[in-house]
Amino acid sequence: MSSHHFKYAEHENFCSAIKNGFLPTVQEHLRKPGSEVNMVIDAGRNALHLAAEAGRENILRYLLQHGANPLVEDDTGVSPLLIAIWHGDVTCVKVLLEFGADPTGKSPDDETYVECAKENPEIQALIKKAIKEW
């Protein structure tokens, strides 16, 4: 039981480090045996989803530089790019596109990413440009 508790505490620490932008803690966690940059944390979400949700460009970039899959979707079909679009986070959108996130995706409600970005012309322009280059 204590081993399970330790793993849970480690997991919580990792999630907290991502959300708070503590890159050294994220790096330390990913260096541990059995740790995987694309591991599912919850409901199909992984570290990229959490970093995009928290707007942590430094964590996103690190994860992507170390093999995180920018095309991953959670159990509801939401990608880290879609999260960044929904949050209006221009910087995170740029980083995800730079590392190969798919700009042609759709939301669970079947809206294109361009439609999802209608509130933010700068993000909409980035998505349209990325689609042309896709």
Neighbouring CB atoms inside 10 A of 18's CB total 27
- Cβ atoms of 20 and 55 within 8 Å: the answer is no
> In this predicted model, what pLDDT tens digit does every residue of 86-106 receive, in sequence order?
999 999 999 999 999 999 999
Summary count for the chain: helices (H), strands (E): 8, 2
State percent of the chain over pLDDT 70: 96
Cα 40 to Cα 63: distance, rounded to the nearest angstrom:
14
14-133: which CATH number, 1.20.1090.10, 3.30.365.10, 3.40.190.10, 1.25.40.20?
A: 1.25.40.20
pLDDT of residue 5: 54
> In this predicted model, what pLDDT tens digit does every residue of 18-49 receive, in sequence order?
999 999 999 999 999 888 999 998 889 999 99
C-alpha distance across the termini of the chain, in Å? 48
pLDDT of residue 8: 73
Question: Between the CA of residue 11 and those of 16, 41, 60, 77, 101, what are the distances in Å?
Answer: 9, 8, 18, 23, 26
Task: Label residues 76-112 b or e (16+ Cβ within 10 Å = b).
Answer: eebbbbbbbbbbebbebbbbbbebebbbebebeeeee
Locate 19 and state its tokens: 């959300």
Run of H or E residues at 42 = strand 40-42
- Report domain extents, the chain: 14-133
